[in-house]
């Protein structure tokens, strides 16, 4: 009798447990101020990792290291412009295979907090919005503007159905999905836009998924960022008053779990400002306070990674971010373990059982040494190889987007209409060179115009001389009201008081030309012309190196350093590593992941030097070293950095 009754109870318990446990559920418990996962009280300790800043072959290594630190969740953005480079042309393969990234995270044992935008900030070009949106000059981004909404609906109509199978309730890893990003920091304050996004997300993802927003931890930010049906969370860095910061969340969300969606382990860099460093002890102390309150936290970044190619963003007034997105995070740009990593692990240990077993070591780095570079063609000598679409003529200059080019470089060419025997100012009075222009007259460098820094230079030359202006897009503003950041010459240049007309523009497909080997490897014939002292016209250089034999486990990661080179872009085997600018600082070395190196053939290094290569006295070299330098000297007039950072630093 007793046995029978016990058996029945057990059976009933089993049935009951099953009805609780299946289907899987994840929700906000307002009554008990927590999340609930399958009915159980749940708290996440998460870290940010952006798959778009790490080569695919290293995703697993980085995720495993994050797992061993004691995290139970990861957070990632999805950058729209990375997946839809041209309207309607989607790319989800290779390094852009976000589904594979989600599966990997789940296999390792992570839950995922997904932030699909459409706007993401992230120190990423234009905050993740595609530049082609700017074809409509009057578009109001991040608002109910119908043109913007049409594009968002189409993108989300592609992305969200793809994501749906990965929701927690559908047996995937995604527990929560963020709508927009820090919308309360944007001038538009358009509630209809947030309402539209909420409906859009719900229509694709269903009623059950927890949707949330993130804003700076003050009522001022939450006012325009929070909305009914979206769970409001906050973000704030270490060193402040954690209780007070969460009180701001309570302003928008009187009940429910406390959540810091971006707890800053470090901070972003800008060219010309000292490398940001946030002390480990400060990070550990605030993390401990957050966890002691029972709050949920996402550490931004847990690993920053790299802005390969042209993907870096910029702050306003115009200050672009460098190639490295190291962020002074607990894992370095290259995924290496730091003191900060172990300090954070120690804190987490106090609150949850961390996995046992060895932590993957930092990946080995190899110093391949110096590589001799030879001079190839200048940009203007290589125009037939670089300009796939041919020149376009127009009275006034066209922008990059009007030329259907999103990134890189465009050459603007015209002639001097008058004799300039005396130095005559060439200027952009309204500061509309976006962002840096390398000017030459009849093939001789005349100077550099730079947005918000140099709006006029002097030129000399006869009437009819060829004026070449190579304009570099240094990255679109990703934060604030100026994210509609067009590139190129936004209005014409003036010679003295004379507006220049009759422009011929060459859209340049440099990446394609480099990876297809179109620049050749014929060394430029040395000329008898005297070497320019200050600047040379933008010129390509190339060199190659072989991975040594007989050393096990090569190729390994490395860093490229360009001592005495000034500013430019560098490719290895056609892969665009990013921009170098040691003459501005603070970044000195660029991360070179092993997966782009080859043992089967010589590795080809291509450099586009925009200002002047160190080649006048003897051969010039680039150097592969085993040690990164991200905190080199800076040559700029920016104000000194504080040691702790907040949203206000971005204003
Ligand atoms: C898609 O992206 C991957 C990874 O960056 C790249 O290798 C591939 O060439 C891209 N495909 C197209 C069609 O552009
Ligand atoms: C950017 O958008 C804002 C808001 O619509 C507008 O006021 C501003 O003129 C635009 N700027 C440019 C350069 O188009
Ligand atoms: C932190 O903020 C809370 C709430 O505003 C306040 O009660 C407390 O005194 C503050 N702590 C410190 C050390 O300033
Ligand atoms: C464009 O302008 C250049 C320079 O003035 C001229 O040589 C060329 O013929 C023009 N091309 C077209 C298609 O008009
Ligand atoms: C420019 O100067 C040259 C002599 O150096 C002269 O022949 C020519 O007429 C001048 N052109 C203009 C447009 O003034
Ligand atoms: C341009 O030349 C004029 C006259 O020689 C000189 O006064 C001025 O400082 C120069 N401007 C620049 C920007 O070099
Ligand atoms: C480097 O360029 C050479 C010559 O074009 C080519 O044979 C070789 O395969 C290239 N190396 C790699 C790793 O692509």
3-state secondary structure of 349: helix
Provide residues with CB under 6 Å of ligand 3: 241, 243-244, 247
Q: Is the pLDDT of residue 308 over 60?
A: yes
Going from the N-terminus, what domains does the chain have, and what CATH number goes with each?
Answer: 29-350 (3.20.20.80), 369-375+533-637 (2.60.120.260), 387-508 (2.60.120.260)
Question: Which ligand has the shortest distance to the CA of 240?
Answer: 3
Strands 575-580 and 568-572: antiparallel
Distance 10 CA to ligand 2 centre (A): 66
Give, using CA atoms, the residue closest to atom 12 of ligand 3. Answer: 241
Q: Is the CB of 455 under 6 A from ligand 6?
A: no
Report the catalytic residues. 182, 262
State the pLDDT at residue 647. Answer: 67
Of 18-22, 354-358, 535-539, give the lowest mean pLDDT range.
18-22
In short, whether 484's Cβ falls inside 6 Å of ligand 2 is yes
Sheet with 369-378, strands from edge to edge, namely 575-580, 568-572, 603-609, 539-545, 369-378, 620-625, 558-561, 589-592
23 — pLDDT class (breaks 50, 70, 90): confident
Residue 202, SS3 per DSSP: helix
User: From CA 648, how far away is CA 244, in angstroms rounded?
Assistant: 17
Tell how far the Cα of 536 is from the centroid of ligand 5, in angstroms: 27
The predicted pLDDT at position 106 comes to: 98
Q: What is the pLDDT of residues 479-489, one digit of tens each?
A: 999 999 999 99
Q: Which residue from 368, 374, 515, 517 has its CB within 8 A of the most atoms of ligand 7, so it is best to mutate?
A: 517
Split at pLDDT 50, 70, 90, the class of 11 is very low
* Nearest to 610, CA basis, from 409, 458, 426: 409
Q: What is the DSSP letter of 259?
A: E
Q: What is the pTM of this model?
A: 0.95
Looking from the CA of residue 502, the nearest atom of ligand 4 is 5
Does the beta carbon of 270 lie inside 6 Å of ligand 7? no
Cα distance from N-terminal residue to C-terminal residue, the chain: 74
Please give the Cα distance from 344 to 297 (Å, whole number).
12
The pLDDT, as a whole number, for residue 525 is 77
Please give the backbone phi and psi of residue 631, each rounded to the nearest 5 degrees, phi first: -115, 40
Residue nearest to atom 6 of ligand 1 (CA): 94
Q: Whose CA is nearest to atom 9 of ligand 4?
A: 393
Task: Determine if ligand 7 sits within 6 Å of the CB of residue 598.
Answer: yes
Which residues contact ligand 1 via a Cβ below 6 A?
A: 91, 93-96
Q: Name the token pair of 598.
A: 């080859």
**Ligand nearest, relative to CA of residue 457:** 6
Copy the structure tokens of residue 281: 């002890």
**Cis peptide bond N-terminal to 586, omega within 30:** yes
Confidence of residue 523 (pLDDT cuts 50, 70, 90): confident
Structure confidence by residue, pLDDT tens digits, 135-157? 999 999 999 999 999 999 999 99
CB of residue 423 inside a 6 A radius of ligand 6: yes
The bound ligand whose nearest atom lies closest to the alpha carbon of 595 is: 7
Instruction: Report the alpha-carbon distance of residue 261 to residue 259 in Å, rounded.
Output: 6
Report pLDDT digits (tens) over 71-117: 999 999 999 999 999 999 999 999 999 999 999 999 999 999 999 99
Positive or negative: CA dihedral 191, 194, 200, 206: negative
């Amino acid at each position: 009798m007793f046995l029978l009754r016990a058996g029945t109870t057990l059976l009933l318990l089993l049935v009951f447990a099953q009805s609780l446990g299946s289907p899987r559920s994840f929700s906000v418990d307002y009554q008990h101020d927590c999340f609930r996962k399958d009915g159980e009280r749940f708290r996440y300790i998460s870290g940010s990792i952006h798959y778009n800043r790490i080569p695919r072959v290293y995703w697993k290594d980085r995720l495993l290291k994050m797992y061993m630190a004691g995290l139970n969740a990861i957070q990632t953005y999805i950058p729209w412009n990375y997946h839809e480079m041209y309207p309607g042309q989607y790319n989800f393969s290779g390094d852009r295979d976000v589904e594979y990234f989600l599966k990997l995270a789940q296999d390792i044992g992570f839950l995922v907090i997904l932030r699909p935008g459409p706007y993401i900030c992230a120190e990423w070009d234009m905050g993740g919005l595609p530049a082609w949106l700017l074809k409509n000059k009057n578009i109001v981004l991040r608002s109910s503007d119908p043109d913007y909404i049409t594009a968002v609906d189409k993108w989300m109509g592609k992305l969200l159905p793809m994501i749906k199978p990965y929701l927690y309730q559908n047996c995937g890893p995604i527990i929560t999905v963020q709508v927009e990003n820090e919308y309360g920091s944007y001038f538009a304050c358009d509630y209809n836009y947030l309402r539209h996004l909420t409906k859009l997300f719900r229509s694709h993802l269903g009623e059950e998924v927890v949707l949330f927003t993130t804003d700076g931890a003050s009522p001022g930010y939450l006012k325009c960022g929070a909305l009914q049906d979206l769970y409001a969370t906050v973000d704030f860095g270490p060193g402040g008053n954690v209780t007070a910061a969460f009180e701001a969340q309570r302003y928008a969300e009187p009940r429910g779990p406390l959540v810091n969606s971006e707890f800053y382990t470090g901070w972003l860099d800008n060219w010309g400002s000292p490398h940001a460093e946030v002390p480990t002890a400060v990070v550990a102390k605030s993390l401990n306070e957050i966890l002691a309150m029972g709050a949920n936290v996402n550490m931004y970044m847990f690993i920053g990674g790299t802005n390969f190619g042209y993907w870096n963003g910029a702050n306003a007034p115009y200050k672009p971010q460098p190639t490295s997105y190291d962020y002074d995070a607990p894992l370095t740009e290259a995924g290496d373990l730091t003191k900060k990593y172990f300090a954070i692990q120690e804190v987490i240990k106090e609150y949850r059982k961390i996995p046992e077993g060895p932590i993957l070591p930092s990946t080995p780095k190899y110093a391949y040494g110096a590589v001799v570079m030879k001079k190839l063609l200048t940009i203007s000598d290589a125009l037939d190889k670089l300009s796939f679409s041919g020149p376009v003529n127009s009275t006034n200059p066209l922008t990059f987007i009007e030329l259907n080019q999103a990134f890189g470089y465009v050459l603007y060419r015209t002639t001097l209409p008058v004799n300039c025997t005396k130095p005559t100012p060439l200027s952009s009075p309204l500061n509309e060179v976006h962002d840096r222009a390398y000017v030459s007259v009849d093939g001789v460098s005349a100077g550099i115009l730079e947005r918000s820094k140099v709006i006029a230079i002097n030129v000399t030359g006869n009437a009819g001389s060829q004026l070449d202006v190579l304009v570099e897009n240094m990255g679109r503003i990703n934060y604030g009201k100026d994210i509609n950041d067009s590139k190129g010459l936004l209005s014409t240049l003036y010679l003295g008081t004379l507006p220049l007309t009759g422009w011929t523009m060459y859209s340049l497909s440099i990446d394609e030309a480099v990876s297809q080997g179109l620049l050749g490897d014929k060394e430029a014939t040395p000329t008898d012309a005297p070497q320019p002292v200050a600047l040379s016209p933008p010129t390509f250089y190339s060199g190659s190196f072989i991975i040594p034999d007989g050393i096990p486990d090569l190729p390994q990661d490395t860093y490229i350093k360009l001592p005495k080179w000034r500013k430019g872009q560098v490719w290895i085997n056609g892969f665009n590593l990013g921009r170098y600018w040691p003459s501005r600082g603070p970044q000195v070395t660029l991360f070179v992941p092993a997966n782009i190196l080859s043992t089967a053939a010589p590795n080809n290094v291509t450099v586009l030097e925009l200002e002047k290569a160190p080649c006048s006295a003897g051969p010039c070299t680039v150097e592969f070293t085993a040690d990164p330098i991200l905190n080199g000297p800076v040559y700029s007039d920016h104000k000194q950095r504080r040691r702790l950072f907040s949203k206000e630093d971005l204003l």
